[in-house]
Structure formats: structure tokens, C-alpha cells
Structure 1
Amino acid sequence: MRLAFMGTPDFAVPALRALHQAGHEIAAVYSQPPRPAGRGQALRASPVQREAEQLGLPVRTPARVRRDAAEHAAFRDLGLDAAVVAAYGLILPAEMLHAPRRGCLNIHASLLPRWRGAAPIQAAILAGDSESGVTIMQMDEGLDTGPMLLAGQVPITAATTAQALHDALAPLGASLILRALEEAPMARPQPEAGVTTASRLSRDHGRLDWTQSAEALDRRIRAMTPWPGAWTLSDGTVLKVLGATPMPGLRPDVAPGSILPGQDGLWIACGSGVLRIDRLQLPGRAALAAADFLRGHRFAPDHRLG
């Protein structure tokens, strides 16, 4: 088929690669414009743009498309059979949604209608869901509200981080979009029950509230890994928490955030239960196992985090 591909982050790269390898004609790849990155803040192309250029595909990087009549016309003039959208990050107007013969198909990283919106991977872990997945959806003008074509599931375990779930869902989305284009399955409306929305993440989503349960804090750490990262304060210094383990059955009689004395490692009292911090990092320093961190960093007996 003659396609356009629209995506920006790493999640979209396996789908672009799979469509190209399957022999589809990709008339244009759309991605968000290069952004400042790194210490020097030099402009860096998105992962999708870099992959498209490696494959020798034409790339377009408009800063906006919603009200740009020239972009609408250029998209229409591509003469597409379909457009494939995967975490593009820009809202498509009706003029673009309906331009391809088969419309626009979205690779969405959740089992719709659960976790519509910007951060479905993190939301599923944070909520304690037992599974996630990918839904191939026929796009309409709502926020992830279009009818569903195909879906595939991936389990979420007690050790699943957002990075691990991302790495499982990205190739699943690639395989499902190939099937959707080949099989043209019947579209099914999304159920009205069970709709949830995953809001866009900010750095503050990673802040640990020690009045929560140890299990909830563990989910937050895993959901925010690698970005925006889970963190707490220690005497005003940001302490990044990279891995932790809830310790069941413990009910310390101290304030939440207190470091428990006499424990092997860094054990923290929570609103309910105890969380053992396994790996952490200070600003500008290397990440360390908790045992290594404690060799060079002493806490006062009454020290509290947060």
C-alpha cells in the first residue's frame, strides 16, 4: 500500500521499520521537529526521523498541522491508501484524518478503552493493572475514541518497569499494524464502560509520597522508570530512586519517610509497610546499589526522606 507514517519517539520505530521491510510504499514520514537536547542543547532529530533518514525515506517535520491549510493540501496530494500513526504527538484535523482512502490507523499502547491519552504505559503500571497491550484503532476526531481493529495483550508483573513494558509493546504494535493492513478486520466500537484517561507526565509525577503504601510507591518507581524518574528529597537534595522492593509484613511505629535503623540496606517506613531501596542516585553522580551508597553516605538516626 501507499502509506504515510507519523510518529516521533522510540516506540514508533519498530512499526516504521516493519512497514518498510514488508514492502509498503512509504510516501512520507511525519515526525515532530528536532528539539534541543543534551548539555549543549544542540538540535536533535527524533528517533523516527533518524530511522526514516537511514531508510532513505522522505521526512516532514511541521511544528503544527491542525490549522495549516498548506499541510492539509500536501498530505491530501500524497494520494495515500492509509496513514499509520504511532505516538506522533500532534493532533490531526479532520482534513487529514479523512484524506487517505482507508483513513488513519493508530497504534495505541493500551487495551482501549482503558488508558486513552498521553501516558498509557505508565498509567497501567501505576494503577496496578495485571496486563497491558496494543490496540490498532481507526482514528476519529476524539482523544483515542475511534473504533478498534485489532488488539494484543502483554502481562504486567511485579517487576515490570515502564521501560520493559515499552520494549514489549513496541514490537507488538509493529506486528499488529501489519496484520491490520493485510487483513482489513471489521472495526468494533469501543465499549462505553471502562474508559480511563492517562494524563501527560511531568517531573512532579515522579515525586515519592512516603505516606502512601510500600506497594503503591513501588509501582510509582517502576512506572516512572526511566522518565521522569522517581525521586525524593534528603535534606533538600534530590535523591533519585531507581529500584526498590516492598517488604511485606512489617509495620514500623515511626513517621513515614523515616530510615529504619539496623537494617541491611536502605529500608524506609511508608504510610503502610516498608520499602527497601535497592538502587539510587545523587545529582551528577553514578547510580549505585544501596549498599554501596551507604558506604559513603551516612544518615542521622532520626533522618526522614521527603
Structure 2
Amino acid sequence: MPLRLIFMGTPEFAVPTLLQLVAHGHEIAAVYSREARPAGRGMKLQPSPVAREAQRLGLPVLTPKTLKTPEALLEFQSFVPDAAIVVAYGMILPQAILGAPRYGCYNLHASLLPRWRGAAPINRAIMAGDAESGVMVMKMDAGLDTGEVALAERITITDAMTASDLHDALAPLGADLMVRAMASLSRDGLQLTKQSEQGVTYAAKIDKTEARIDWNRPARDVLRHIHGLSPFPGAWCEMPVDGEPVRVKLLRCELAEGAGSPGSLLDDRLTVACGEGAIRILELQRAGKPPMKAGAFLNGTPLTPPLRLV
């Protein structure tokens, strides 16, 4: 039986879930998203990916600055939802909103809870060297990602995965999971399990001060740092180009053979020594330039030992 839903989401990660809920016949009474923000060369106001897709589907879109006022609650209640679906909405839901839908509010979270509660679970899982990640459907409560879990799917994190790769793998997996959860909910068959009190970690929002690469760390730690911040904000270092230090973001790399002083180039293929072992840079980006494969970069900017990256 189709449900009457409110959908709350903002970035591209949430779009597949919205589309799948619509495709499976659920009635989307309203879509809540964050307000339009300036973007692009002209810095014109641009709707969020979710708002843009909802408008294309002809769904009503709301972008309130707060949900804490009596007016916001009345407007939310006026849609008489069976449930609210929350996917990377970016705003805390007060208790009055959480209790408004008939069956409650359900969040799609991109981690294996209780590990990586919070804002940046995809980045943190890679940066920490985790062997796996996943998505979970959770019934929301007043805590930070502390609600009871309904369904989960797992995925292996390889050393080749960037945050972008993991994001793109989890988004459709999560959309399918939420559709399954709503099908069970519509039959009164959705079972909930309390989260473990063991293994709780928090995925703090990524700070740009974390982005500089520390070549003194072991090679695998450096690789996971680079991949966990790719493409945004992008882990960076300074390269000597024409005798001047140039800031360059490193977007993709692989483990490589070799050893030397941390940060030093070991060959003409952008193999760089770390505190233990080495990595080879595969993709990078200079400020104001598009991302480039290492080979294309080296064609225009050949770098050879004994240059050092800092």
C-alpha cells in the first residue's frame, strides 16, 4: 500500500531515494530542502539537487530557514504524512516535527551505525582505514543518529575507493533500502533494533585545516587521507613548479614500491616517499584547473628527483 510521505533532503546523495519512492508509487506530499545558494561563475542562486529534481517532478518544495517555530510545525502537520523520509537534509528536526507523522521519521544514514554518527560518515570511514561501510534506515529520535535501526546493507571499502566512489555506490543502495523499509512499514511489518552501545564513533564535519598531506605518515594512511577527501575539499600539498611552490590537490593515488625521505619524488612517474613505503599519484588538480591524470600533468610539467613535495 502506498504511503503519504514528506521527503526531506538536499544534496545529490538524496536524489536516488526520492526518485525510487516516487517510482514505487508513494505519494510525496511535500519536499523539504535547504534554501538555494549562490553557485557557478555568476554566483547565481541555485536550488539544491533535491529541490531541482522535485520541481522537475512537479512536487511542492519548501525551504524553511527553521523548523522550530509553531508556524513551521503547523505547515508540516498540514500535509498529514504517514511518515517523513530524511536523507542528508542538513537541518536538525525538533521533537515536535519528529512526532508529527503517523509512523514517525526515517533517516537514511551512510554508515554502519553506531560507527560514524554525524555529518561526514563517508569521508571518515575512508580516512580511518575502515574495511567496510554501508547504509542504514533508522527511525529518528532526538539524539544524533541514535535511533533504532530497521534495515542495513554493507559494502567493502577498497584502497582504490575515493569518497566520491563510495558516495556513488551507497546512494542507489540506500534508495533501494528505503523503498524496502517503506514497503514493510506499509504492511506494519517494519522491525526495529536498538543500536549497540559499543563501538560508537562520531564523524565530525570535515575541516579544511585537515586537508594538508603529512608525508611522514605511512603510505596507506596517506592514501586513505587523500581518497577520503577526494574530490572535496581535496587533500593538498605544494609542488615545486618552475622553481615556485604551487598548491596541488591530489585526488587519486595507489600504493607503490620505494622508500626515501618523506615527500621526496622517487622517479619521474610521481611516486612519492612516505614515512613508511610510498604512493604513486594518479590524478591531481592545480588551483583553477580541471582535474588531470598524472601522465597529462607530467607532459606539461615534468617533475623528477630530487624534488620534494611539502
Q: Give 2:225's aligned residue.
A: 220
Q: Give 1:239's aligned residue.
A: 248
Q: Give 1:123's aligned residue.
A: 124
Name stretches of at least 5 consecutive residues in structure 2 with no aligned partner. Answer: none
Q: Which moved more, 1:91-100 or 1:235-244?
A: 235-244
Describe the shift of the 1:164–1:299 C-alpha distance in structure 2 as closer, same or farther (beyond 3 A): closer
Q: Which moved more, 1:221-230 or 1:113-122?
A: 221-230
Name stretches of at least 5 consecutive residues in structure 1 with no aligned partner. Answer: none
Distance in 2, Cα, partners of 1:147 & 1:141:
11
Shift of 1:210: 0.9
Describe the shift of the 1:52–1:158 C-alpha distance in structure 2 as closer, same or farther (beyond 3 A): same
Q: Give 1:8's aligned residue.
A: 10
Distance in 1, Cα, partners of 2:299 & 2:175:
46
Shift of 1:95: 0.6
Distance in 2, Cα, partners of 1:28 & 1:287:
38
Q: Which moved more, 1:223-232 or 1:48-57?
A: 223-232
Distance in 2, Cα, partners of 1:38 & 1:89:
21
Describe the shift of the 1:12–1:3 C-alpha distance in structure 2 as closer, same or farther (beyond 3 A): same
Distance in 2, Cα, partners of 1:58 & 1:52:
7
RMSD over aligned Cα atoms: 1.5
Kept in 2: contact 1:134–1:151 (CA 8 A): yes
Kept in 2: contact 1:205–1:228 (CA 8 A): no
Q: Give 2:92's aligned residue.
A: 91
Q: Give 1:229's aligned residue.
A: 234
Distance in 1, Cα, partners of 2:305 & 2:276:
21
SS in structure 1 opposite 2:169?
helix
Amino acid at match of 1:182: A
Q: Give 2:273's aligned residue.
A: 269
Matched, 1:251 2:259: yes
Kept in 2: contact 1:265–1:278 (CA 8 A): no
Distance in 2, Cα, partners of 1:142 & 1:211:
38
Distance in 2, Cα, partners of 1:229 & 1:204:
11
Kindly provide the CA deviation profile for residues 259-297 of structure 1, in whole angstroms up to 9, marking residues without a partner as x: 22xx24012111111111122222223433323323332
Shift of 1:201: 1.4
Q: How does 1:74-89 map to 2 (within 5 A)?
A: 74-89=75-90
Kindly provide the CA deviation profile for residues 100-153 of structure 1, in whole angstroms up to 9, marking residues without a partner as x: 011100000111111111111111111111111111000001100011011111
Amino acid at match of 1:238: R
- Aligned pairs, how many? 300
Q: Which moved more, 1:177-186 or 1:142-151?
A: 177-186
